[in-house]
Structure 1
Amino acid sequence: MTSDPEQIRAEIARHLADVPDPATPDADIETIAAQLEAAHDLLVHALQAVDRNPAGGTTGQETEG
């Protein structure tokens, strides 16, 4: 999983671009839900990748001193 913000934005935009307009009479709620879930999963994985490898190589356990 990449933690590159631009790549993540592009992937999220791709998923959201495929979401049909829910206001249309023939909108398939299952399709909408699947696309939103895919975008959500991508964001969750990106956040997990950042948590595992914070910027600058810190572990998050440093204290100010």
Structure 2
Amino acid sequence: MTTDPDQIRAMVAALLADLPDPSADDAEHIDVERIAASLEEAHDLLVRALESVER
């Protein structure tokens, strides 16, 4: 796992880039499960990054 902050930011941004806009007109059709999965994946990436810094 990289510890480069810019690379970690880019990885998180890539994971969150496809999330829909909750304030959009068609917000009632948003796939909440997909949003949750993307957020969980970004969270896991950040946790792994922090764990690698602690070593």
TM-score by length of 1: 0.73
Question: Who is 2:14 aligned against?
Answer: 14
| RMSD, aligned α-carbons | 1.0
Is 2:29 the counterpart of 1:31?
no
Q: Which has the higher helix share?
A: 2
Deviation sequence 1:18-44 (CA, Å, 0-9, x none)? 212234111001000000001000000
Instruction: Give identity over the alignment, percent.
Output: 62
Structure 2 unaligned runs (5+)? none
**Bigger CA radius of gyration:** 1
SS in 2 for 1:46: helix
TM-score by length of 2: 0.85
Is 2:50 the counterpart of 1:41?
no
Q: Identify which of structures 1 and 2 has the higher relative contact order when contacts are C-alpha pairs closer than 8 Å and 6+ apart.
A: 2
Question: Who is 1:55 aligned against?
Answer: none
